Chain A
Amino acid sequence: MQQFLDTTLGGLVLGAVYAAFALALCLIWRSTRIVNFAQAAMAMVTTYIALSLLNADVPYWLAFLAALAAGFGLGAVIERVIIRPVEGKAELNAVILTLGLFMVLHGLTAITFGVQHRGFPAPVSTNAISVGDTSIGITPFGILTIVVVALVMAGLVVLFRFTDLGLRMRAAAFNGEVSRLLGVRVGRMLTLGWALAAAVGAVAGMLIAGGDLVNPAFMDPFVIYGFIAAVLGGLDSPLGSVIGGLILGLSLSYVTGYVGEHLAPLVALGILMVVLLVRPSGLFSAAAARRV
């Protein structure tokens, strides 16, 4: 029972991080129909920026905000400068571009900051919480992770459901031409979509790095897990991405806890294959409804 509780809590924390990452992929997919393989590298860069600030004794939450802002700016610049010229062309062009960008960002970070592992601080303890004399499988930082991801989701829900800006962004993503006829500045909305996604990615980066070691490759597994989570839930659906992230986090945690850590990547790929075979549009995609 104790082990079940521990693996569940661990899975939820892991799932929250995958969910944040999947959400970033989903935001970009919805607005520009591009799977952004550079997402992890972008988040890695913003995390390094935060690390430099932390090493210069900037307070943690200020560095956190700086990472967010850096992600926002980086996302906007990448969309404007690199992605915009290939928008509306063959989708493969953009995908190859994001793969190239992934390598460039990797290289640049390694040159600038070095490839060695470096410790990354956490704002709260990363030791398991104890109740009486049994420790339970969650740390204060784990709780913080879940809270932050929940806040990000809530913020996005409010933005997309209840604000005019969110309505413009959704409209621009769904139907660019009609949106232009209605006065929406579609290009601007797409840039904003990338900026927001990169900011969400930056949050994920900070949560993954906290209390752990970082090097230029530390985010790489997450682009794969984030992608699987997003596909599982439906790349089109932000809610699906979140639920996909949680399902994946829990599954991998159970596999790690009861079977063995080495099987986790295999199970993740197995999930991806099953989803693509059985329900390629994902569990929560609206695509099925659209066929009616």
Chain B
Amino acid sequence: MFAVEDLSAAYGPVKALNGVTFTASRGQVTAVLGANGAGKTTLLRTVSGLVRSTRGTVKLDGKDITRTATEKLTSYGLSHVPEGRGVIAELTVVENLRLGGLHRATASEPMPIERIFELFPRLGERRDATAHQLSGGERQMLVIGRALMARPTVLLLDEPSLGLAPRVVAQIFDLLRGLVQSEELTVVLVEQNARSALSIADHGVVLNLGKVVASAPAAELAADEQLRHAYLGF
């Protein structure tokens, strides 16, 4: 169980997160939705310690990780997947993956790179390519695969659909859905593309101006026409 409670953060005088509370359950996808600037990315960055929280806690299976150094989170089983531009462009596909496996969740077996290539055959074909040569979809597969190398229990995904063709988005979301079941992952999926995100999510949290304005099962959010028009843009 991954729980965020009353989390707040600010950029100087501007409050970017204002008392955000939600939980994400194991084996489920929790979508965090909202318009540009709603605080979605800031939420993930605050959880990872890249932005300092001013208030509130983040708990992973009951353990308080709010002030844990960013570098230590992968060893606790939490992997933050930056959007696809977060590949290390100068390294090859294999090097990016190897790097992901260097600081795994404690007491976990190393993940064989071949296993990632089974999940993403396209990456296997391009194993020796430098990451800057990859297409947007391939980069997205690479950052997800790289995070899996750390054998996480919680996966925080930042806008995996950004800049990708709808067909590629569907493909990546399908894979994600499969992973959640096979690996018993807790996934927090930050997305601007609310329609696609809700189609694979179990639960949804809607942010507006740094505050939670709705939190409900995904199907319920998708059915709420007023909410969709006001915050989700579909």
* Smallest Cβ-Cβ distance to A165: which chain B residue: B102
From A34-42, A144-152, A175-183, the one touching the partner chain is: A175-183
* Smallest Cβ-Cβ distance to B156: which chain A residue: A181
Chain B residues with CB below 8 A from A179, complex form: 88, 99
Partner of A290, one of B79, B89, B95, B150: B89
Chain B residues with CB below 8 A from A167, complex form: 91, 95, 98-99, 102
Q: Does A106 touch B at the CB level, under 8 Å?
A: no
> Beyond A167-B99, A168-B102, is A181–B90 a contact (Cβ under 8 Å)?
no
Chain A residues with CB below 8 A from B95, complex form: 167, 170
B window 91-112: CB within 8 A of A: 91, 95, 98-100, 102-103
Counted as pairs of residues, one from A and one from B, with CB atoms less than 8 Å apart, the total is: 71
A174 contacts B103, CB within 8 Å? no
| 27 A-B pairs in the complex with CB atoms less than 8 angstroms apart | A164-B98, A167-B95, A171-B88, A171-B91, A171-B99, A174-B88, A174-B89, A174-B91, A175-B89, A177-B82, A178-B86, A179-B99, A180-B70, A181-B50, A181-B86, A182-B74, A182-B99, A182-B102, A182-B103, A182-B146, A183-B72, A183-B73, A183-B103, A183-B150, A184-B102, A286-B90, A290-B89
B71 contacts A186, CB within 8 Å? yes
CA A95 to CA B204, docked complex, whole Å: 49
Chain B 138-154 near chain A by CB (<8 Å), digits 1 or 0? 00000000100010000
B70 contacts A168, CB within 8 Å? no
Chain B residues with CB below 8 A from A186, complex form: 71
Q: Does A131 touch B at the CB level, under 8 Å?
A: no
Q: Does A185 touch B at the CB level, under 8 Å?
A: yes
Chain B residues with CB below 8 A from A277, complex form: none
Chain A residues with CB below 8 A from B75, complex form: 183
B50 contacts A184, CB within 8 Å? no
CA A174 to CA B90, docked complex, whole Å: 7
A181 contacts B88, CB within 8 Å? no
> Beyond A167-B95, A183-B103, is A289–B132 a contact (Cβ under 8 Å)?
yes
Chain A residues with CB below 8 A from B70, complex form: 180-181
Looking at the assembled complex, report how far the CB atom of B98 sits from the nearest CB atom of chain A, in whole angstroms: 6
Partner of B50, one of A164, A171, A177: A177
A window 18-73: CB within 8 A of B: none
Chain A residues with CB below 8 A from B79, complex form: 181
Chain A residues with CB below 8 A from B91, complex form: 167, 170-171, 174
> Beyond A181-B82, A183-B71, A185-B71, is A175–B102 a contact (Cβ under 8 Å)?
no
Partner of B90, one of A168, A170, A185: A170
A181 contacts B80, CB within 8 Å? yes
Chain B residues with CB below 8 A from A174, complex form: 88-91
CA A69 to CA B72, docked complex, whole Å: 30
Q: Does B48 touch A at the CB level, under 8 Å?
A: yes
Given A170-B90, A179-B88, A183-B71, 7 new contacts (CB under 8 A): A164-B98, A168-B102, A177-B50, A177-B82, A183-B150, A184-B102, A185-B71
Chain A residues with CB below 8 A from B50, complex form: 177, 180-181
CA A132 to CA B88, docked complex, whole Å: 57
* Smallest Cβ-Cβ distance to A289: which chain B residue: B132
Partner of A183, one of B87, B88, B90, B102: B102
* Smallest Cβ-Cβ distance to B143: which chain A residue: A178
Chain A residues with CB below 8 A from B133, complex form: 292
CA A170 to CA B90, docked complex, whole Å: 9
CA A290 to CA B87, docked complex, whole Å: 13
Chain B residues with CB below 8 A from A171, complex form: 88, 91, 99
Partner of B132, one of A180, A183, A290: A290
CA A153 to CA B146, docked complex, whole Å: 30
Chain B residues with CB below 8 A from A178, complex form: 82, 86-88
Chain B residues with CB below 8 A from A180, complex form: 50, 70-71
A window 229-287: CB within 8 A of B: 286
CA A179 to CA B87, docked complex, whole Å: 10
Chain A residues with CB below 8 A from B103, complex form: 182-184
Looking at the assembled complex, report how far the CB atom of A106 sits from the nearest CB atom of chain B, in whole angstroms: 36
Closest 3 CB pairs of A and B: A183-B103, A183-B74, A180-B70
Chain A residues with CB below 8 A from B48, complex form: 181
A164 contacts B102, CB within 8 Å? yes
Looking at the assembled complex, report how far the CB atom of A78 sits from the nearest CB atom of chain B, in whole angstroms: 23
A window 139-168: CB within 8 A of B: 164, 167-168
B150 contacts A182, CB within 8 Å? yes
CA A186 to CA B98, docked complex, whole Å: 17
Chain B 24-47 near chain A by CB (<8 Å), digits 1 or 0? 000000000000000000000000
Chain A 205-238 near chain B by CB (<8 Å), digits 1 or 0? 0000000000000000000000000000000000
